[in-house]
Structure 1
Amino acid sequence: MTENKIYIKKILNNTMNETEKEKLHSGKLFSKVLEKQWEDAHDAAAKDKTDVNRIWAKIQKELWENKQVKTYEYYKIYSIAASVLLLIGIGCFAWILSRNQSSNTMFVATSGIQNMQSILLPDGSQVQLGPGSKLIYPSEFDGKTREVKLEGQAFFDVAKDKSKPFVVKTKDMDVTALGTAFEVFSYEMENSIETVLLNGKVKVDLLHGNHKREVILNPNDKLTLSRSDARISIEKVNATKYSDWRNMGILSFENEKLSMIIPRLEKWYGQKIFCQKDLANTYRFTFKVRNESLDRILYMLNNSSPIKYRKAGDNYELYLIN
């Protein structure tokens, strides 16, 4: 091993004595030799891997010794914070898990175009869901009331339980019953909302806008709420025939106004039917809808009345010829 290489190793290992340091500093040609040694460092490292490892170990030791205290403090702080967050996370997870285990599963029942669904609720109540409708109900009625949410049309035959009222919640009204049979017609896009009572007694809480009102219905009462002007009307109908669709699985109308017929045809066929309000409130019809097309139904209305119809894009329009 040359003398120059020995000097380089002593510099890196910090083992030079004062005499050697003086000799190094006074040497004019040593810097050139040192430069050459560094240029040839790759070859030297290949021949002396042990020394290279020792050099790197010393450099790393010096660096870590200078930062050891600060690093340890940071790690300590981070460790404490992480432990606290972990405990909070475990607590939150346990709380959420306990809530999920104690809460009811919610079911969503839907019906499509020209389709009706029969549903048996957890309390034994039976529901016949009309076309294009949705009912949300729990796996168990474990509260003080038996609440379900409806969007669309449904007939309810409620199991009796005086200690736990049965409540049908819609966007603009709640219908409460203890044990009775009734129909609710409440599609979000329709102006009119209806409740028809077959038997028993129900309380209707009207929630439309700022107009809040409570109404009690008796058998064969039909309540209609107009969303546009919040007007309420109650009339006597034959509730059995009015809700006959639930038994026959078809639409059935007996001497009904077009204003009542049109929304049900729209939901059954999934198509819009435009008709002026005064026209819809003037003419009445009696017919049943089985598997006929909407075009066929409107054609029959056209042949039995002055009302005409025409296509309006994918929808239909009813009108009178002056």
Structure 2
Amino acid sequence: MNREQFAALLEKYQEGRCTDEEKRLVEHWFALLENDHTAEVSDRDLQDAGARIWSGMQEKSYLPDLSEARNNNPFRSIYVRWTAIAASLLLAGWFFMEKMPDRSIPLAAYAWEEQRNDGTTVLPVLLEDSSTVELAPGSSLRYPTHFEHKKRTVILKGNAFFSIRKNPEKPFYVHSGEVTTKVLGTSFHVGTAPDGKQTKVEVVTGLVSVYAERKGDSGPDMLVSPNHTATFDRASGKLSPGLAGKPRLLNADVSFRFQNTPLSEVAERMREAWGVELGAENSQILNCPLTADLSGQPLFVQLDIICAALGARYKVLGPAIRISGPGCTVRTPQAFKTRKPIHSAMQT
């Protein structure tokens, strides 16, 4: 920091335009050189403060301590001088690093902000890196004003939807309910039950890594793909995989029009479209043909129609779906068009 920069800083202080960090720097130097009561710095004190403080800084940094020299203690004089130089460099460096939060500054050095949603609608939060968070009512988010050089970290209480700007060099971490979610750039939901017993991560796009923060038999990190979930149970300390309640179509180019199509091919198309593994309890049913148009239907409605057509049943087993049935008991379309959805009774 040169003299002109310091003079400009003092002018900002006098006009009340300083940030908290700049104010602390000015008052620290004033206290160090002139005054023991930093809270009593007045406008009159500051009229000639620029020259006096800068002169004092220069004097303490480069001139020997004359009072100590009169006592014939050269080593003490050198110690005071170089201690002052070190203090000057450290404070000047601290000031500019505060103004340029970057690179290797630890997270604790930055100020944290908190957004609370006490309303009844979703509260949007824009982060420094242009990532966005849709904060649900009754939830709160803590985040630093400036992210660290090598990672981005936030703390969530409640529920939120994250859209994270991609940055492979700077992973994004969400800490919530004893669970950490790590992403490079994606969109996902994170929610903790009101009683705090469970925390669920549901991925919409991209791939995330989820792990329990506490030690124990929680298993390895769990990779979660779109339309899948990872749920942490606080009582057991374990993570378990699952499917989203309302899966989103991931590939609109897949055709859902089937004409005597074997169930094995139907399952492959559904995997491409929804990102969900569809298997069978026995290999025989995979050869059963399906004739149906499932276009425009949600995943679980499609499964209801398939099972009604083949006289089968399905279960949701963690992150996958399994169909079971006696074989190729094919029914006419009229037999299942008016049939009520059965997926709510079949899922486990």
TM-score by length of 2: 0.41
- Counting helix residues as a fraction of each chain, which structure ranks higher? 1
Over alpha carbons, which structure has the higher Rg? 1
